[in-house]
Amino acid sequence: MKNCEYQQIDPQALPTPTPTPPPPHHHHHHHHHHGHDGDKREEPNRLRRKWEVFPGKNRFFCGGRIIVARQSGVLPLTLGLILVTSVLFFIFDCPFLVKHLTSCIPVIGGVLFIFVVITLLQTSFTDPGILPRATPDEAADIEKQIENTGSTSYRPPPRTKEVLINQQVVKLKYCFTCKMFRPPRTSHCSLCDNCVERFDHHCPWVGNCVGKRNYRFFYTFIVSLSFLTAFIFGCVTTHLALRAQGGKGLVFALQESPGRYPSLSNLVICFFSVWSILGLSGFHTYLVASNLTTNEDIKGSWSGKSGAECATNPYSHRNIFINCCSVLCGPMPPSLIDRRGFLPVDEYAQTSGTDIELPTLAAKSEINVCTQGTKGLLESATRSPLLSTPCPQGKPQSAHTCPDNSPTVNSDPSPELSTSCGARHTARSLSDTSPPRHTKTRSKKSKRAALHIPNPAFDDPASPTSPDAGPSTKGSGQKGATSASMH
């Protein structure tokens, strides 16, 4: 902290997020500063990074560089399937085809395979566009604004705000977990417990949400995967056909070929994958061309079904080429959650003693596990007395394709509290109480099918209990939507 002039405030002397100056003086409401050195006893050299106190249900690896959702879903299965199929292809079909056709085949296959794996890992490990939760000051400010403009009745005012975007009225909803009005096209994923910008869907195959930042990876992944599966399918078919030609028919060819079981299983897997993946790619190509998200398409936000007047998509550039370019080739937005940043040392991460009496903040019983962040408790108690359990009628508003998890909503402390209390532990205990839809059973598969928003236009033969296996028209997407949102 450099010395500065009498009047001037040195902006560098204050780390930005703190509302109280580092050596807190007693003109504020802190009473227990016994042992300011007590704060220092906790590893003065080791600063904590922000990912360690991230309030959402995510897991971090490599020091915060890699982010995945809490449930990795079926990502290992996806990777395994791709690996197994490709390896079988290389071992059993390539030698024959190289001999009889051309040696480009393994090269093309190899390139596609590498492309697929890289884009898959990028989709899974990239921050999809998570919005950090509002700081307590922001939340208090918003609450004040809501109160000021709210109705005079004793019932709490509806927490929506209307904005005019390109002459189209768009409703912004208030997110109770993140304590802010969601920007347009942002949705709260209850599986990850985060608001995600330009939320598309939560993909269990990939084990992550698909949002603004990783949509291009996801799209490249499914397109290259459809090429890969089509390629393998074609090669295996050619392989078997060539063998059948040379010999006495297909059955004999199958009997004599050394890799008949692998080739056949490859064929079967690829046959089913090709249709579903091709279908998904086609669906997403349509979405990209019209600058829609899966979320909006399922809910029919812009197709005029929900609104009285004809609603058009206000985000579309009205030109397919420009839409595609802006979604896929636009500038890459930065990650807003700053995983590897350091927590300010003087902040609520410090312990100031062992046991501090907790003020009576309503419904915050989970915080008794930790002693950190009591300064934050007092700060927020004085600054935002309105931080209490949200009213129940707010919940349906935040339920989208993923139903809002009520334990998550009710017990969310302010970010500072949850951060310094090790929210991942509290969140983990909360997720145990959530409905058992995350267990790896058949029911999960049906949920997975519903969550993955199976393309309305194509059958998904891989999900036997898919709720909207039905007519392959666009209309069935709406049925799928209602059934999905009922889960």
Partner 1 sequence: MAETHSLQDLQQPAVFSKVFIQRDYGSGTICRFQTKFPSDLESRLDKQQFEETIQTLNNLYAEAEKLGGKSYLEGCLACLTAYTVFLCMETHYEKVLKKIARYIKDQNEKVYAPRGLLLTDPIERGLRVVEITIFEDRNIGSGR
Give the interface with partner 1 as residue ranges (CB under 8 A).
1, 3-4, 6-11, 13-14, 16-17, 19-23, 25-28, 114-115, 118-119, 122, 131-132, 134-135, 137-138, 141-142, 163-166, 170, 172, 180, 183-185, 197-198, 216-217, 220, 314-315, 322, 325-326, 328-334, 336-338
**Torsion-angle region of 378 (φ positive above 0: left; ψ -120 to 50: alpha; else: beta):** alpha
Cβ proximity to partner 1: between 326 and 463 the closer is 326
Cβ proximity to partner 1: between 310 and 329 the closer is 329
User: From the candidates 175, 178, 203, 235, which is the catalytic residue?
Assistant: 203
**Torsion-angle region of 393 (φ positive above 0: left; ψ -120 to 50: alpha; else: beta):** alpha
Cβ proximity to partner 1: between 341 and 471 the closer is 341
- Point out which residues pair with 202 in neighbouring strands: 209
Find out whether 422 and 53 touch, Cβ atoms under 8 Å.
yes
CB of residue 387 to partner 1, shortest distance in Å: 16
CB of residue 244 to partner 1, shortest distance in Å: 36
Residues 6+ apart with CB under 8 A from 226: 274, 277, 278, 280, 281
Residue 189 catalytic? no
CA distance 128 to 350: 30
| Residue that the structure tokens 């934050």 belong to | 376
Secondary structure (3-state) at 130: strand
Cβ proximity to partner 1: between 4 and 320 the closer is 4
Cβ proximity to partner 1: between 65 and 155 the closer is 65
Crossing angle, helix 374-383 and helix 136-149, to 10 degrees? 20
- Point out which residues pair with 194 in neighbouring strands: 189
**H/E element holding 60?**
strand 58-61
Count, residues in the chain: 487
CB of residue 343 to partner 1, shortest distance in Å: 12
CB of residue 470 to partner 1, shortest distance in Å: 34
Residue 166 burial (C-beta neighbours within 10 Å; 0-12, 13-18, 19+): exposed
CB of residue 41 to partner 1, shortest distance in Å: 22
CB of residue 228 to partner 1, shortest distance in Å: 13
CA-to-CA dists, residue 366 to 191, 316, 350, 385, angstroms: 20, 45, 19, 18
CA-to-CA dists, residue 178 to 34, 158, 432, 450, angstroms: 34, 17, 21, 25
CB of residue 22 to partner 1, shortest distance in Å: 7
CA dihedral sign of residues 297, 303, 305, 309: positive
CB of residue 245 to partner 1, shortest distance in Å: 37
Q: Which tokens hold the place of 70?
A: 């809490």
Cβ proximity to partner 1: between 88 and 288 the closer is 288
Q: Strands of 76-159 (E only): list them.
A: 130-131
Q: Which of 406, 398, 456, 460 is nearest to 430 (CA)?
A: 406
Cβ proximity to partner 1: between 71 and 187 the closer is 187
Cβ proximity to partner 1: between 246 and 341 the closer is 341
Positions annotated as catalytic residues are 203
